[in-house]
Amino acid sequence: MKNYASIAIGINQYEFLEPLSYAQQDAEALHNFLLNERNFSAEQCLVLSDNTSIPIWEQPTYPSRENIIDIIEGFCQKELQVENCLWYFFSGYGVSYQNQDYLMPIDGNPTNPEATGISIRKLLEDLSKSPVEEVLVMLDIKHSRLTGMDNQLGVQALELAKELEIPLLLSCHPNQVSEETSALRLGFFTAALLEGLNSGKCTTLKNLDNFLSSRLPELCTEYLRPKQNPLMMVNPTDKMNQIILPQKIRVDSNSDPEKARTTKQVSNPIKTSMTTKNTQTEMVNGNMNNNTVASQVNSQNNIKKVEMSENIAQNIQSDKSFLQKLIVGSSLTSLVLLLGVFLTNKSIFFSKQIVGEGNLPTMKTEEDNSSEATLPPSPVVSGSKNQSTANTSSTTGNEQKQEESQLSANQLILSEAVTVLNSISASSFSRAIIKASEIPQSDPVYPEAQNHIERWSLTILDIASGRALKGDYDGAINAAKLVPRNIRPIYQEAQLAIGSWEPQLAQQKKANEGFNEALLTSAKEQIQPGQASSYIKAINEARKIRSGEPQYEEAQKLIAQWSNTIFSI
């Protein structure tokens, strides 16, 4: 029987690189899923991230280069057996240097990856030397925040995976980048991966590849991001049918009465497994947490809830026949009452008018009375009352038309709000939010409009974060200010982001001021009187100063002056 183990590494706060937003969350989310949903061994399910400091086998789990290498060598060589199936997941930066791929640990320096990075060759060779029968390596390393686009990153990793016959899954192709989003609080690759694993459709490598190849680019498009296409290398190809997840054990006692009668007998093992599971949940990287006692108390409470649920189920079963009788009796009573109402008001249903004199009932013969003795007397309906009924019906119809008209109008407003999104910009999403906010709370379309508004607000914050990562702090702040105040959690997150970007913007402006002064000085030095080409070079230098930056107005004056000089020449 296979034992499933995993190593999940996710790093946000790098020492020498721009921080990532959700790499740590990627690793922790996958770790929690495998541990809690797929019953991976708690002692063989490791997570290394910015937040982890609990040692495993007296080794620290802080994701530095030394610690990652030591844990891979020690864990894979000493703790795993032949029957193990190992998942290795890394979310963070990667670099390609002299045609060699490297993972960047938290202390990795991209200027010296040979000394500070983790060679993918060494990683895959160490995994191939381990006694485990099956390995799956997943790398989310093509993040756009690293300087420049490296189309070679991942190429060597694929070649090594083919050579060493280790299944490898990359989050995107070498000519693409791997994106994150605040809307999901995860990277797109991890979000699609967890969705596939939760669906139960990804039990083999082939299933996983098919699901991600379809879902990942679809998810990127859904959140208005460049497409990512995952890339899997499996050699030999018959490994595509390799089982990668343990099967869930399900007990269905509802389909068989005999099983239903034995539910009470099965409850004790269930209680025991619940206690065990709660105890395992308190294990972090093979170590017992200080909250174990509280966990055991909670497990006892859960057992009591199970017993209460069993008693309730028995009561419901015993009352089932009574409820059926009650329903049948109520239905018959309702039919009798409806029949009485119909017979009492049959003149109205058949649009007949019974006109009397004054308020007296019409006279009937003895024959008539005898024939209708069992029926209640028909009410007298005057012409004025008919008119009132007609007016009421007309009023009700008008109200319904008005409501339908109002509904269609608000639906049109929401449609117009969606059509405002003609470009992927923060301002277009802001205009869409303003438009959708016109729909009143009492309208049926209101919940749908609010869902759109919340999603668009997250997208605005995502756009702002993207600008900040590119160094455009001014644009990032302006975009974040468009998040509406009434969407409180997202608005508060936007305000915190603005607070962190403003000092960097001030520092950037100060640096730009000196840079732009040097740029204008360089432009002036280009000028040679009487030579139009020298003025053109000076103008091109001055145009590098953007609107809103220091020295911009002076640069524009000089450009106008030098343009006139060129015309004179």
Q: What is the pLDDT of residues 6-36, one digit of tens each?
A: 899 999 989 888 888 899 999 999 999 998 8
Q: Is residue 149 part of a domain?
A: yes
Q: Is residue 124 part of a domain?
A: yes
Q: What is the pLDDT of residues 403-424, one digit of tens each?
A: 555 556 666 666 666 555 545 6
The pLDDT assigned to 57 comes to 54
Asked if the model's pLDDT at residue 229 lies above 90, the reply is yes
Asked if the model's pLDDT at residue 355 lies above 70, the reply is no
The pLDDT assigned to 214 comes to 93
What does the pLDDT average to over 208-222?
93
Residue (of 407, 416, 484, 401) closest to 450 by Cα position: 484
The pLDDT assigned to 188 comes to 94
What does the pLDDT average to over 221-242?
89
Asked if the model's pLDDT at residue 212 lies above 80, the reply is yes
Element (H, E) at 181: strand 180-181
The pLDDT assigned to 416 comes to 62
DSSP state of 481: T
The pLDDT assigned to 399 comes to 55
Residue (of 498, 488, 560, 569) closest to 528 by Cα position: 569
Q: Which of 225-239, 326-340, 463-477 has the highest mean pLDDT?
A: 225-239
Looking at every residue in the chain, the average pLDDT score rounds to: 74
* Helix, strand or coil, per DSSP, at residue 59: strand
What does the pLDDT average to over 543-565?
85
Q: What is the pLDDT of residues 72-88, one digit of tens each?
A: 887 777 777 777 788 99
Asked if the model's pLDDT at residue 59 lies above 60, the reply is yes
Radius of gyration of the chain (CA): 36
Instruction: Please report which confidence band the pLDDT of residue 344 belongs to, taking 50, 70 and 90 as the band edges.
Output: low
The pLDDT assigned to 200 comes to 85
Neighbours of 101 (CB within 10 A): 28
CA 426 to CA 42: how far, in whole Å? 44
Q: Which of 254-258, 351-355, 356-360, 452-456 has the highest mean pLDDT?
A: 452-456
What does the pLDDT average to over 217-223?
90
The pLDDT assigned to 411 comes to 66
Asked if the model's pLDDT at residue 384 lies above 50, the reply is no
Q: Is residue 85 part of a domain?
A: yes
Asked if the model's pLDDT at residue 166 lies above 90, the reply is yes
Give the CATH number for residue 24: 3.40.50.1460
Q: Is residue 31 part of a domain?
A: yes
Asked if the model's pLDDT at residue 353 lies above 80, the reply is no
What does the pLDDT average to over 134-162?
83
> pTM, whole model, 2 decimals?
0.52
Asked if the model's pLDDT at residue 107 lies above 60, the reply is yes
The pLDDT assigned to 91 comes to 95
CA 363 to CA 383: how far, in whole Å? 19
The pLDDT assigned to 330 comes to 55
Q: Which of 105-114, 257-266, 311-320, 457-466 has the highest mean pLDDT?
A: 105-114
Lowest mean pLDDT, pick from 228-237, 278-287, 541-550: 278-287
The pLDDT assigned to 83 comes to 75
Lowest mean pLDDT, pick from 212-216, 235-239, 269-273, 451-455: 269-273
What does the pLDDT average to over 356-375?
40
Q: What is the pLDDT of residues 109-134, one digit of tens each?
A: 988 999 999 999 999 998 888 888 88
The pLDDT assigned to 255 comes to 44
Q: What is the pLDDT of residues 522-534, one digit of tens each?
A: 888 888 888 888 8
The pLDDT assigned to 310 comes to 44
The pLDDT assigned to 418 comes to 55
Instruction: Please report which confidence band the pLDDT of residue 360 belongs to, taking 50, 70 and 90 as the band edges.
Output: very low
Asked if the model's pLDDT at residue 261 lies above 60, the reply is no
The pLDDT assigned to 102 comes to 94
Instruction: Please report which confidence band the pLDDT of residue 296 belongs to, taking 50, 70 and 90 as the band edges.
Output: very low
Q: Is residue 23 part of a domain?
A: yes
* b/e code 373-399 from CB counts within 10 Å (16+ = b): eeeeebebbeeeeeeeeeeeeeeeeee
HEC profile for 82-103?
A: CCEEEEEEEECCEEEECCEEEE
The residue that leads in pLDDT, 315 or 452, is 452
Strands (E), 18-83: 45-49
Q: Is residue 363 part of a domain?
A: no
The residue that leads in pLDDT, 305 or 181, is 181
Lowest mean pLDDT, pick from 122-126, 466-470, 472-476, 539-543: 466-470
The pLDDT assigned to 377 comes to 44
CA 382 to CA 371: how far, in whole Å? 24
What does the pLDDT average to over 141-146?
73
Strands (E), 269-355: 283-284, 287-288
Choosing from 132, 159, 174, the residue where a domain stops is 174
The residue that leads in pLDDT, 119 or 264, is 119
State residue 363 phi and psi, 5-degree precision. Answer: -80, 145
Q: Is residue 53 part of a domain?
A: yes
Instruction: Please report which confidence band the pLDDT of residue 282 belongs to, taking 50, 70 and 90 as the band edges.
Output: very low
Range of the domain at 160: 3-174
Q: What is the pLDDT of residues 303-331, one digit of tens each?
A: 443 444 444 344 444 444 444 554 555 55
Residue (of 238, 205, 263, 244) closest to 87 by Cα position: 244
Q: Number of structural domains, the chain? A: 2
Lowest mean pLDDT, pick from 169-173, 382-386, 430-434: 382-386
Q: Is residue 161 part of a domain?
A: yes
The pLDDT assigned to 523 comes to 87
Residue with tokens 């030098």: 562
What does the pLDDT average to over 55-66?
74
Residue with tokens 């060597």: 156
